[in-house]
Amino acid sequence: MDKKVHELLNNQINKEFYSAYLYLDFSNYFKAKGLDGFANWYMVQAQEERDHAMLFYTYLQNENMPVTLEEIAKPDKVFEENMQVLEAGLEHEKYVTSLINDIYGAAYDVRDFRTMQFLDWFVKEQGEEETNANDLISKMELFGSDPKSLYMLNQELAARVYSAPSLVL
């Protein structure tokens, strides 16, 4: 495997674990606000991000490449209102999309088709993640200022359950 591709894949493990930390922080924020449904939604997001990290980890191991685990940064954003959390989530998903695109581009440059095929799932997943984050913002814009509607949205988000990624390595 190309050195740059390997480095980017290995770094992505850390970025995915950071994403899990970030979403746990978001979940904690909403739990403290009494919005258990929102807290659940971000707890499920955190679980997904941990699984994404493990998919990168397993891929590198399956390719007989060393994995170096780095320190995971502490989330440092402080929020004053609910919408700020949702907007930060969308911003973060766009950032992760750019990271996946960078890895894909590096793999493309060296004709690493196996890595490109592995990343195809993540490209699709990031499209879904950005859509979900956008949808959540739209719903909050529509319903978030009305307590009864916010309650109903919170109930909707409480129903979200975790399902493991379907990517086969």
Structural domain including 20 reads 3-158
Residues 6+ apart with CB under 8 A from 137: 83, 86, 87, 90
Residues 6+ apart with CB under 8 A from 125: 52, 165
Is residue 165 domain-resident?
Answer: no
**pLDDT tens, residue order, the chain (169 aa):** 999 999 999 999 999 999 999 999 999 999 999 999 999 999 999 999 999 999 999 999 999 999 999 999 999 999 999 999 999 999 999 999 999 999 999 999 999 999 999 999 999 999 999 999 999 999 999 998 899 999 999 999 999 998 877 665 6
pLDDT at 168: 59
Is residue 167 domain-resident?
Answer: no
What total of structural domains would you count in the chain? 1
Residues 6+ apart with CB under 8 A from 103: 5, 8, 9, 12, 115, 119
For residue 104, the domain's CATH number is: 1.20.1260.10
